[in-house]
Each structure stands twice: as C-alpha cells, then as structure tokens.
Structure 1
Amino acid sequence: MLTNKKTKIVATLGPACSTREIIKDMIDAGVNVFRVNFSHADYEDVKQKINIIRGLNEEFGYTTAILGDLQGPKLRVGVMEEGVVVHDGDLITFTTAEDILGTAKKVFMKYQNFPNDVNPGERILLDDGKLIFEIVETDKKSEVIARVIQGGELKSKKGVNLPNTKISLPAMTEKDIADAIFAIGQNVDWIALSFVKTPRDLQDLQELIAQHSEYKIPIVAKIEMPEALENIDKIVAYCDALMVARGDLGVELPAHEVPLVQKELIRRAKTARIPVIVATQMMETMITSLTPTRAEVNDVANSVMDGADAVMLSGETATGNYPVQVIQKMTQIIEAVEDSPLIQVPQNTPQIKTKRFITKTICHHAATMANVIKAKAICTLTNSGYTAFQISAWRPNAHILVFTSNKRILTQLNLLWGVKSFMYSKDVSTDDTVTDINEIVKQKGFVQKGDFLINLAAMPIKDKGMVNTLRVSEIE
C-alpha cells in the first residue's frame, strides 16, 4: 500500500536497486522520484531501469517520476601512486601539461584552464575538503605550485573544489550535453544541472531541451557554489526547482555555514513557489547499518520542517545494503513531523500582476480557504501542471489532487509536496466534470459524505485555458 505522506522522497538508482522487485518495494515504501546519477551511468543500464519504473507505473497505477542528474564540470586529479601522503607545509606542483602518475611532489590536474583561472592565495580542496592546499604561484600556462595546509593521503581521481576561484568552465561539459540528449530521448520528467553559477547555465540547458524535445522538461538547479548564492534571485527566475546539494556546498563553503544556507534556499524556493529538494548524507550510516543515527533522524525531520518538498537519498539507495529499509525509515520520520503546526509557510501573497496573476491568486485563496472551511481536498484540472505548483507551495492541510489528460505531467508533478495526480481525459462540460471528479475522489477514499471539497477549473473546460474558477462542493 502506498503511503499518504506529503513530503516526497527522491532515491538514487544504482547496483543496490536493480531488480524490479526491489524497485517496486521501494515505491511501496515511499519513493516518489528515482534519480539517475549521470556521474556513474551506463546508458543501457539506465534504459533498463527506466523501463522497469514505467512498467510498474503502468501496471500498478503509480506515478513515479524520473530525474536525470547531470554531473557538471567535476574537476579531478589524475591517477596517483599507491599510498602517497602529503604533509602540512610541503610544496606540491599541479600540472596540466601531461597525464603523469601522481607523487607527493607532482600531480596531474585534469582541468586544462586551471593554471590560468587560479591566483596565489586561493585554496584548492581535494577529496571533499579532506586535503587543503594554498596556491603559492602559477605560471598561467601549465603549472601551479601550492603549499599543503591540511595534509593526508592523496588518492587517485579525487574531486577538486576551488571555493575562491571564478572557474571559466560552463556548467555543461561535453559529457553533460551527451547525457542530457540521452535523458531527453528517454523522456525523463526532470533534469538536474550541477554547479549552476548563473542564469546563462540554465538557459543553455533550456535551449538544448528545446532542440531535442517538443516538450518542456523542467530543470532543477543544484546549488553548490558560492557564486550561485550570490546570483540566487536570478537563478530562481530561470529554473523550475532548486536542490540544496549539501555535499559540494559544504566543501565550497565552511560546513558550519550550510545549515543557514539550507534554510535560506528553502525560503527562497517557497517564496518563488517552486519545489526544493534537500540532498546529501541524510541517512548516510544506513548504507551499512539498519539504524540511522539520532542526528540523521533529526536532519531529515528538520529539512521537512524547514519546508522541503522532497528529501533525497544518494549512496543509501544506490549502493547501500538496505535500499528498502532506508525508505521505510525516512517515510516514518516524515510522517511523524510533517503535520506539525511548527512548520511555517512564507505568507507573501501574489503581488506582481503578470498574465498568471489571476491563477496565482485563485490557487492562494483555494489553499487558504481549504484550511478555513476544513476542506478535505483541493481538486484541480490542469493541462500544464501550473496550478499544482501554486497550490502545493501554500501547503494546505487538504489533499491536493490533480486531474490531467497530459500524460507527461502525471509523473512530473510527483516531485511536488502533497500532490497526487490522476489521469482524466473526458471532455465534458464543467458541471458534469466537477460532479464526475468529485465522484472519483470519493471512490478513492479521499473524501466521504458531508466533507467539503474545493474544485479549480478553467472555464470553458474544452479550451484548456488558465484556471479562473473556484467552486466549493459538499460531498453527498
């Protein structure tokens, strides 16, 4: 039986969840969206898993979504000799000239523009910040000399972060473009872009989607760089969702600054009425243990109480020992806290009179009114899914039930807090439609006799225009 929680769970696909049985058990335990991590993806394998998920959707009436997550310009060092250790105060040379086997004296850096982008005094962080170097000098061509600030073992192909450096790389590498075209071809529901710095990064991906698909695929901007925080207002205007990617964010920024950044990013997303995902290390110990730490339980709960639409698991489901149990545990935590009166929604009513001002205002009033009259459900007929985004952002207590004839948004909306979507393709007049939908909602057990229910629709229905009507019904 599917859970009734409103906060969504994103789970990363990987070797630990390759079979149809495990994927089905994970959906039943509470997964709403599966993430394909293109950092470690084999196209044939991805196709197979997407087919399994879509097959289960078809057979059991699930609406599980698929999120393609592009790797972005992940900087890495080359291959190292075994057991290389660097000590505080040592000098080391990073070279882009030749792919040498790395030693404690000299290491290959895979990023060609590195010597030109960096300046003395800037820091190089390696292996999620475990090792820290400070740049002493650069020849601006192929070699950079750095001093070890925090030493340790230098391992092969580890990721590099440059928190003080303005990197000249675009957010989409050649690999990302190929992965994005593949993901678009697979009709994924969402695409996440890593290391977003400016709105231009998002526009490049939007243009790529437009070239390769007749449909708009919504974009999740992953926030993991200080530059993205500086440009956050502009980024929010160009993306369809945000992800608080705490892994790289906690390396690029001092880790102790991340909790407030998380809260601020969630608040920004809520104000813009777009969904927000909190990701990384949420249940990390459950990769190998059946019990999460108290701190992890608290972290998931706090992310829900901050107002996240979705919480995400990475290694826990991709390579962990307990992919189903970690979902069950997460669902349990979500259900325990998500109805708390302590959760506050930013109450900024729609102000700017754009062409969607009426729709926005109606959705806002529907959510507010539902709480006042204690309506059990808000039902909306939509072709674009726009009203679902708007209602979800106001976090009403009522069920948010979306009816659509557009098969693509049926699964897409599964990332949104509290939204459940259903296929509805009858083209009948408004009164009949409302009666019909109310009957379906009653049969599905969301309402019973005497309950109030709010219907939103665009009149006339056959035009599939913008929502302009709010109606309250009492179930008979």
Structure 2
Amino acid sequence: MLTNKKTKIVATLGPACSTRETIKDMIDAGVNVFRVNFSHADYEDVKEKINIIRGLNKEFGYTTAILGDLQGPKLRVGVMEEGVVVHDGDLITFTTAEDILGTAKKVFMKYKNFPNDVNPGERILLDDGKLIFEIVETDKKSEVVARVIQGGELKSKKGVNLPNTKISLPAMTEKDIEDAIFAIGQNVDWIALSFVKTPRDLQDLQELIAEHSEYKIPIVAKIEMPEALENIDKIVAYCDALMVARGDLGVELPAHEVPLVQKELIRRAKTARIPVIVATQMMETMITSLTPTRAEVNDVANSVMDGADAVMLSGETATGNYPVQVIQKMTQIIEAVEDSPLIQVPQNTPQIKTKRFITKTICHHAATMANVIKAKAICTLTNSGYTAFQISAWRPNAHILVFTSNERILTQLNLLWGVKSFMYTKDVSTDDTVTDVNEIVKQKGFVQKGDFLINLAAMPIKDKGMVNTLRVSEIE
C-alpha cells in the first residue's frame, strides 16, 4: 500500500537496490523519486534501472520520478604512495605539470588551472575537510606550495575543496555534458546540477536541454558553494528547484554554519515558490544498522518542519544494508511531524504582474479557500504542471490532485510536496469534466458524500490554456 505522506522521499539508486523486487518494495514504502548519481554511473546499468522503474509505474499505476544528478567539477588529487602521512607544519607541493605518484613532499593535482586560481593565504581542504592546508606561494603556472594546518593520511584520488578560492571552472565538465545528454535521451524527469555558482551555470544546462530535447526538463540547483549563497536570489530565478547539498556545503563552510544556511535556503525556496530538497547524511547510521540515531530522527523531522518538499537518501539506499527499512523509517518520521501547525509557509501573495499573474493568484486563493471551507481536495487539470507547482507551494491541508493528459509531467510532479497526479485524457466540456473528475476522486477514496472539493480549470478546456476558473463542488 502506497503511503499518504505529503513530503516526498528521494532515494539514490545503487548496488543495494538493483532488483525489481527491492525497487518495488521501496516505492511501496514511500519512495517518490529515484536519483541517478552520475559520479558512479554505468550507462547500461542506469538504462536497466530506469526501465525497471518505468515498468513498475506502468504495471502498478505508480508515478515514480527519475532525477539525474550531474557530478560537476569535482577536484581531486592523483594516486598516492601507500600510507603517506603529513604532519602539522610540513610543507607540501601540489603540481599540475605531471601525473606523479604522490608522496608527503609532492602531490599531483588533477585541476590544470589550480596554480592560477589560488592565492597565498587561501585554504585547501582534502578528503571532506579531514586534511587542511594553507597556501604559502604559487608560481601561477604549475606549482603551489602549501603548509599543513591539520595533518593526517593522504589517500589516493581524494576530493579537494577550495572554500576561499573563486574557481574558473564552469559547473559543467565534459563528463557532465556527456552525462546530461545521456540523461536527456532517457527522458529523466529532473536534472540536478552540482556546484552551481551563478545563473550562467544554469543557463548553460538549459541551453543543452533545449538543444537535445523538445521538452523542458526542470533543473535542480545544488547549493554547495559560498559563491552560490552570495548569488542565491539570481540562482532562484533561473532554476526550478533547490537542493541543500549539506555534504560539500559542510566542507566549503564551517560545519556549524550549515544548520542556519539550511533554514535560510528553505525559506528562500518557499518565498520563490519552488520545491527544495534537503540532502546528505540524513539516516547515515542505517547504512549498517537497523536503528537510526535520535539525532538523525530529529534531523529528518526538523527538515520537514523547516518546510522541505523532499528529503534525500544517498548511501543509505545506494550501498546500505537496509534500503527498504530506511524508507519505512523515514516515512514514519515524516508522517509524525508533517501536519504540525508549527510549520509555517511565508505568506507573500503574488505581486508581480507577469502573464502568469492570474494563474498564480487563483492557485493562491484556491489553497487559502480550501483551508477556510475545509475542502478535502483541490483538483486541477493541467497540461504544463504549472498549477501543481503553485498550489503545492501554498501547502493547503487538502489533497492536491492533478489530472493531465501529458505523460511527461505525470511523473515529474512527484517531487512536489503533497501532489498526486493522474492520467486524464478525455476532452469533454467543462461541466462534464468537473463531474467526471469529482467522480474519479470519490472512487479513489479522497472524498466522500458531503465533502467540499475545489476544481481549477482553464476554460475552454480543449484549448489547454492557463487556469482561469475556480469552482467549489459539494460531493453528492
């Protein structure tokens, strides 16, 4: 039985959930979106998993979505000798000239422009911030000398973060462009872009999507750099959703600053009326244990209380021992807190008179009115999915039920808080459509005799225009 929670769960695909049975059990336990992590993706394997998910959607009437997550410019050091340890105060040289086997004295840095981008006094973080170096000098060509601030073991191919440096790399590497074209070819529902710094990064991906697909694929901007926080207002205007990527964010920023940044980013997304996903280390213990820590339970609950539309699992479902149980546990936590009156949505009504102003206003009033008259459901007919985004953003107490003949948005909308979508292909007149939709909603058990229900539609229906009508029905 599928759950009735409104907050969505994004689960990362991996070796731990590669069978059809496990994937089905995960959907039944509460997964709404599966994430393909292109940092560790084999195209044939991804195709197979996508086919399994779409096959299950078809067979059981699920609307499970697929999110392709691009790796972005992950900086790394080269291969190291075994057991290299550096100590506080030591000097070490990072070179881009040749791919040498790394020692405690000299290490290969895979990023060509590194010596030119950095300056003395800036920091280099290695292996998720376990090792910290401070740059002493750079020749601006191929070598950088740094002093060890926090030592430890230097391991092969570990990730590098440069929190004080403005990196000249675009957010999309050649690998990302290749992965994005593959993802577009697989008709994924969403694409996430890593290490977004400016709106230009998002525009580059939008152009790539436009070039390779006749459909618009919505983009999730992953916020994990200090630069992104500085540009957040502009970024929000160019993306379709935000992800609070706490892993790299907690390395790029001091970890103790991340909780307030998370709250601020969720608030920004809510004000802009776009969905927001909270990610990384949510139920980390459950990779190897059947019981999450109290702190993890609190973390998931607090993310929901902050107003997250979705919470995401990474290693827990990709490589963990309990991919189904972790979803059950997460669903339990979400259901326990998501109806709390403590959750507040910023009440900024639509002001800017764009061509969507009427639609936005109708959706806002539908959500407000549903709460006032205690309507059990808001039903909307949509071809683009726009009304679903708008209604979901206002967080009404009523069910948000979307009817569409557009197969692509049927699954896409599954990331949105509280939204359930259904295929509806009849092209009949408005009165008949409303009666028809209300009957379907009643059959599906969302409403019963005497309940109020709000219908939104674009009149005339066959034109598939913008929503311009709000109607209240009482179920007979």
Q: Shorter chain as normaliser: what TM range?
A: over 0.9
Shift of 1:128: 0.4
Shift of 1:416: 0.1
Residues paired across the two proteins, number: 476
1:287-312 deviation per Cα after TM superposition (whole angstroms, max 9, x unaligned): 00000000000000000000000000
Shift of 1:431: 0.3
* Secondary structure of the structure 2 residue equivalent to 1:459: coil
* Secondary structure of the structure 2 residue equivalent to 1:402: strand
Shift of 1:276: 0.3
Shift of 1:397: 0.3
Shift of 1:30: 0.2
Shift of 1:266: 0.4
2:74 alignment counterpart: 74
CA distance in 2, matches of 1:81, 1:471: 70
2:170 alignment counterpart: 170
1:359-388 deviation per Cα after TM superposition (whole angstroms, max 9, x unaligned): 000000000000000000000000000000
1:365-417 deviation per Cα after TM superposition (whole angstroms, max 9, x unaligned): 00000000000000000000000000000000000000000000000000000
Shift of 1:262: 0.4
CA distance in 1, matches of 2:400, 2:151: 52
Shift of 1:123: 0.2
Shift of 1:89: 0.4
Shift of 1:15: 0.2
The unaligned stretches of length 5 or more in structure 2 are: none
Shift of 1:279: 0.2
* Secondary structure of the structure 1 residue equivalent to 2:121: coil
Shift of 1:40: 0.2
1:237-265 deviation per Cα after TM superposition (whole angstroms, max 9, x unaligned): 00000000000000000000000100010
CA distance in 1, matches of 2:441, 2:82: 63
1:113 alignment counterpart: 113
Shift of 1:278: 0.2
CA distance in 2, matches of 1:231, 1:190: 22
With the length of structure 2 as denominator, give the TM-score of the two structures: 1.00
CA distance in 1, matches of 2:351, 2:20: 47
Shift of 1:269: 0.5
Are 1:299 and 2:299 counterparts?
Answer: yes
* Secondary structure of the structure 2 residue equivalent to 1:49: helix
CA distance in 1, matches of 2:390, 2:265: 18
Shift of 1:102: 0.6
CA distance in 2, matches of 1:374, 1:393: 18
1:314 alignment counterpart: 314
1:38-97 deviation per Cα after TM superposition (whole angstroms, max 9, x unaligned): 000000000000000000000000000000000000000001111111100000000001
CA distance in 2, matches of 1:180, 1:91: 40
CA distance in 1, matches of 2:50, 2:385: 22
* Secondary structure of the structure 2 residue equivalent to 1:92: strand
With the length of structure 1 as denominator, give the TM-score of the two structures: 1.00
CA distance in 2, matches of 1:405, 1:315: 36
CA RMSD of aligned residues (A): 0.3
Shift of 1:5: 0.1
Shift of 1:335: 0.2
1:103-125 deviation per Cα after TM superposition (whole angstroms, max 9, x unaligned): 11110000000000000000000
CA distance in 2, matches of 1:433, 1:328: 37
Shift of 1:356: 0.4
Shift of 1:24: 0.1
Shift of 1:25: 0.2
* Secondary structure of the structure 2 residue equivalent to 1:326: helix
1:439-473 deviation per Cα after TM superposition (whole angstroms, max 9, x unaligned): 00000000000000000000000000000000000
1:292-343 deviation per Cα after TM superposition (whole angstroms, max 9, x unaligned): 0000000000000000000000000000000000000000000000000110
CA distance in 2, matches of 1:320, 1:85: 30
CA distance in 2, matches of 1:285, 1:143: 40
2:200 alignment counterpart: 200
1:152 alignment counterpart: 152
Shift of 1:185: 0.2
CA distance in 2, matches of 1:238, 1:28: 34
Shift of 1:273: 0.7
CA distance in 2, matches of 1:192, 1:269: 15
CA distance in 1, matches of 2:83, 2:397: 56
CA distance in 1, matches of 2:309, 2:234: 21
* Secondary structure of the structure 2 residue equivalent to 1:94: strand
1:93 alignment counterpart: 93
Shift of 1:204: 0.2
Shift of 1:438: 0.1
CA distance in 1, matches of 2:272, 2:388: 14
CA distance in 2, matches of 1:124, 1:249: 15
1:147-177 deviation per Cα after TM superposition (whole angstroms, max 9, x unaligned): 0000111111000000000000000000000
